[in-house]
Structure 1
Amino acid sequence: MKKLFLICVLAAGMAGYAQAQTTAGNMMLGGTFMYRSEKQETPAEDAKRNTFTFAPQFGYFVADNLAVGLGLDLTTVKIDQPDGDEDKSTEFLFEPFARYYMFTSNDKFAFYAEGALGFGSTKVEPDGDDEQKSSMFRFRVSPGFSYFFNEKWALDFQLSGISYTSENPNTDSDADDDKINTFEFGVSSLSPQLGFRYFIGN
């Protein structure tokens, strides 16, 4: 009987450790990363596109399961053209964010929704041509889920979800036609990103 009671106490403690990581007053460090390689094949020519994204974050739990914080988003794209040219582009954003966790019946798994506002710039470097710079604004809502290994570490699997992006090239003209506005939602925008979280607190 005593052994059964001890097993129940340990099981209850293990079931609750994940949710204890996301209680008010705790902090988290981490981020996501993504690499994608695409090859466009046509009868006339082939082109290869490589994309890499790294997005570190720091968050503070202002309430149970709700964290707010600041992140950075760095994305680089390299396109290898059939004629040997290499085009590059870089995006750099500061991203204030909010994330809310929703735990399942298994306390090691939690779904989450994350909203973020990004402010930064982009730079496009066509091979053999002048570089082009733009200011950039982005709003996104990204769903995902986390697996909690223990009381300190969790693995994230995040999707891009819904996003709205506005780019304004730094030109001498103030014409509205210079701006590029993009809205993404659907399967093509759900590019998965993996990441890790380290929790500081109770």
Structure 2
Amino acid sequence: MKKLFFAGLLALIGTGAVAQTSQGNISLGGSLSIYSASNDQTNSESKQTGFSISPSAGYFIKDGLELGLNSRLLFYTSTYKQINSDSGNKFNTFSYSIGPYLTKYISITEKLHLTATGGFGYENSRTKRPDEAEELYSSASGFYASAAPGLTYFATSKLGFSVSMGYIGYSKSTQTYHDSEPKQETVSEDFGLNFSPASASIGIRYYINR
């Protein structure tokens, strides 16, 4: 009887992670990332610092396959300065994006899963000059597509911790400069590939079994 009890308990523990990614379940979560980069050239230097938060909600359309809606809020400050000069330019940027995503969970162990996430959506940003009474310097809007690998660890039957490890992506946007008359517009396309440690983000998800 005791052997049967412990066998049943181990079976429940072992299927916990599987139950979290079962068809019909719901997941709620988000991630936080901090960004810092600098670029020193012969006559100038630049620096960017900021952070982003990314809330999301998903539904498992089949076992191990999650379809959801992802959003991102990004805040960062950019400074540009000439070498041997006390003056420079400073900009504050706020941007947001929203769009659907699809995540595949691949089991490594009972609690650890490899994930592959792909998505696309709309993004918008506004850049201001804090030294000039928050005057609007530029604005931009466009579309993006991206994919990222990651890991998810199921700590409990309802709680999972995830790490996103870099990304590959494409974006196209139209940027308007408001400090010129008439206003100038430029269209830009960008293909990005970044798997450095600085691109990693940590997230937490809550799973609702149905």
Matched, 1:100 2:99: no
Task: Measure how far apart 1:192 and its partner are.
Answer: 0.4
Counterpart contact for 2:35–2:198, Cα < 8 Å: no
**Percent of aligned pairs sharing the same letter:** 24
1:182 counterpart = 2:190: yes
**CA spacing shift, 1:186–1:37, aligned 2, 3 Å:** closer
Task: After superposing the two structures, state which structure 1 stretch, 191-200 or 166-175, moved more.
Answer: 166-175
Q: Is the 8 A contact 1:165 1:183 kept in 2?
A: yes
> How far, CA to CA, are the matches of 2:195 and 2:93 in structure 1?
24
Contact 1:161–1:190 (CA<8 Å) still a contact in 2?
Answer: no
Given the alignment of the two structures, is residue 76 of structure 1 paired with residue 75 of structure 2, yes or no?
Answer: yes
Q: Counterpart in 1 of 2:127?
A: 124
Aligned-residue offset at 1:76: 1.5
Do the aligned residues in 1 keep the contact of 2:176 with 2:184 (CA within 8 Å)?
no
Q: Which amino acid aligns with 1:169?
A: Q
The 5-angstrom pairing of residues 1-202 of structure 1 reads 2-40=1-39, 47-82=46-81, 83=87, 85-104=89-108, 106-126=109-129, 127-128=131-132, 130-170=136-176, 178-188=186-196, 191-202=199-210
Which amino acid is the alignment partner of residue 146 of structure 1?
Answer: T
Look up the SS of the partner of 1:150 in the other structure. Answer: coil
Q: Is the 8 A contact 2:70 2:99 kept in 1?
A: yes
TM-fit CA distance, 1:4: 2.9
What letter matches 2:114 in structure 1?
F
Aligned residues between the structures = 198
Q: TM-score, structure 1 length as denominator?
A: 0.86
Deviations 1:13-59 (A, max 9, x none): 10101110111111000011101233555686655421211110011
> Displacement of 1:174 after TM fit?
9.7
Does the CA contact (< 8 Å) of 1:52 and 1:76 recur in 2?
yes
Secondary structure of residue in 2 paired with 1:185: strand
1:122–1:136 Cα contact (<8 Å) kept = no
- Give the 3-state SS of the residue equivalent to 2:93 in structure 1: strand
> Are residues 118 and 108 of structure 1, via their aligned partners in 2, closer, same or farther at CA, if it must alter by over 3 Å?
same
Q: Which amino acid aligns with 1:163?
A: G
Cα distance, 1:173–1:85 mapped onto 2, change above 3 Å = closer
The question of whether the paired residues in 2 share the 8 Å contact of 1:73 and 1:95 is answered with: no
Contact 1:112 1:143 in 2 (8 A): yes
Give the structure with the higher percent strand. 2
Gaps of 5+ in 2: 82-86
Compared with structure 1, are the counterparts of its residues 42 and 122 closer, same or farther at alpha carbon in structure 2 (3 Å cutoff)?
same
Shift of 1:3: 2.7
The CA RMSD over aligned residues, in Å, is: 2.6
CA displacement 1:112-154 (0-9 Å, x = unmatched): 1111112021112245464211112110011101000111000
